[in-house]
């Protein structure tokens, strides 16, 4: 495999119900721009990323209301999002097939991870470009883990050695990822689908700052991180 082209893919068709807000999570404001904008910009910070495909709900009318011109043609909306993340990523891979070759790399990134750092992105590209399988950004689990019973009482303390918390981007060859997702049902991340093929994706050291905005209180933390970096307003 000799291809060295890199593409991003961001599933952004969800409604973000857990935030408890009317506005879909990806369009919430952070430092004057949408969270989706910051996630797209983070991927495009490395010039090796050719294009970022943004997978939107077919009825999405919000995306075009925001300015994307600074990225030129490096942002490509795809209105083929599905009911789940799995469906959106799979549909996006299929839609991108006219542009992307099977051996091109796809970096699937969460719309709700606006704080991806350039250092971590470059580490991922440098580490995985010559890898036969691909891999993901992740951080070793630092906290003590407790397993609960049905009454929410501690049943056991789980050893945290060799446990990592998965993040995004998750980087795999387009053909491999398309095959993996076509053979699996709804999994929580792309690596799980690749693992189901009997392969072992590589873990690349990420950063705790690359948080996923899931609840309302996460917004303030993301705002603080972006402010500390002087993110554009």
Read off the pLDDT of residues 156-212 as tens digits, 9 standing for 90 and up: 999 888 899 999 999 999 999 999 999 998 788 999 999 999 999 999 999 999 999
Cα separation, 212 vs 218, whole angstroms: 8
pTM of the model: 0.93
Comparing C-alpha atoms, which of 223, 158, 192, 179 is closest to residue 28? 223
With cut-offs at 50, 70 and 90, classify the pLDDT of residue 231: low
**Residue 3 pLDDT > 60:** no
Tell me the average pLDDT across 34-51. Answer: 98
Inter-CA distances, 72 with 67, 79, 81, Å: 11, 19, 23
pLDDT for 17: 59
Q: Give tens-digit pLDDT for 18-39.
A: 555 678 899 999 999 999 999 9
- Residues counted in the chain: 233
Structure confidence by residue, pLDDT tens digits, 58-96: 999 999 999 999 999 999 999 999 999 999 999 999 999
Tell me what the mean pLDDT of segment 8-15 comes to: 92
The structural domains of the chain, ordered by start, are 6-228 (3.90.550.10)
Whether residue 229 has pLDDT greater than 90 = no
pLDDT higher than 80, residue 142:
yes
pLDDT at 186: 78
The predicted pLDDT at position 20 comes to: 57
Strands 202-205 and 135-140, how do they pair?
parallel
Q: Work out the pLDDT band at 1, boundaries 50, 70, 90.
A: very low
Q: Is the pLDDT at 15 greater than 80, yes or no?
A: no
For the segment 106-130, what is each residue's pLDDT rounded down to a tens digit?
999 999 999 999 999 999 999 999 9
């Amino acid at each position: 495999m000799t291809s060295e082209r890199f593409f991003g893919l961001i599933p952004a068709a969800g409604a973000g119900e857990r935030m408890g807000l009317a506005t879909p999570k990806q369009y919430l404001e952070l430092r004057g721009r949408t969270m989706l904008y910051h996630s797209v910009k983070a991927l495009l910070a490395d010039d090796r990323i050719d294009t970022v495909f943004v997978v939107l709900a077919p009825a999405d009318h919000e995306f075009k209301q925001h300015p994307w011109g600074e990225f030129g043609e490096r942002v490509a909306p795809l209105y083929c999002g599905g009911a789940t993340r799995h469906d959106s990523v799979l549909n996006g891979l299929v839609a991108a097939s006219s542009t992307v070759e099977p051996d091109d790399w796809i970096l699937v990134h969460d719309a709700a991870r606006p704080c991806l750092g350039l250092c971590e992105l470059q580490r991922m590209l440098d580490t995985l470009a010559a890898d036969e399988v691909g891999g993901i950004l992740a951080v070793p689990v630092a906290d003590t883990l407790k397993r609960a019973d049905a009454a929410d009482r501690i049943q056991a303390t789980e050893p945290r050695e060799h446990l990592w918390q998965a993040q995004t981007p998750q980087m795999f060859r387009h053909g491999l990822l398309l095959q993996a997702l076509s053979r699996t049902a709804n999994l929580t991340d792309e690596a799980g689908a690749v693992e189901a093929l009997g392969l072992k994706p590589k873990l690349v050291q990420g950063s705790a700052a690359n948080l996923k905005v899931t609840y309302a209180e996460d917004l303030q933390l993301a705002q603080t991180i972006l402010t500390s970096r002087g993110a554009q307003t």
